[in-house]
Amino acid sequence: MKVIPKKYFLRTAKKYKKKHYDLSKVNDVIDLIANGKIDELRQKHKLGIIKGTKPLLYHVHIDRSYNDDWLFL
């Protein structure tokens, strides 16, 4: 699968990069999504479905060690 980033994602990533956040974990999750490794996403990153949305939207917890708990939709 080919991942095409949206403009909003690129702007947000640029903002966090300027603040010196570690974006390697985000890149790892994007690679897992692109390679279709659903089992690893469920185990390591708590892959879940957002109920009540059509089409189905999934969320992934990027890094749970922070208090703010990064989510990726």
Q: pLDDT-derived band of residue 51, with 50, 70 and 90 as boundaries?
A: confident
Total-model pTM = 0.70
Question: Does residue 44 form part of some domain?
Answer: yes
Question: Does residue 13 form part of some domain?
Answer: yes
Q: pLDDT-derived band of residue 23, with 50, 70 and 90 as boundaries?
A: confident
Question: Does residue 57 form part of some domain?
Answer: yes
The range of the structural domain enclosing residue 50 comes to 7-72
Question: Does residue 1 form part of some domain?
Answer: no
- Number of structural domains (the chain) is 1
Higher pLDDT, 57 or 69: 57
pLDDT of residue 4: 80
d(CA 54, CA 36): 21
Question: Does residue 2 form part of some domain?
Answer: no
Question: Does residue 12 form part of some domain?
Answer: yes
d(CA 43, CA 41): 6
| 60 pLDDT higher than 80 | yes
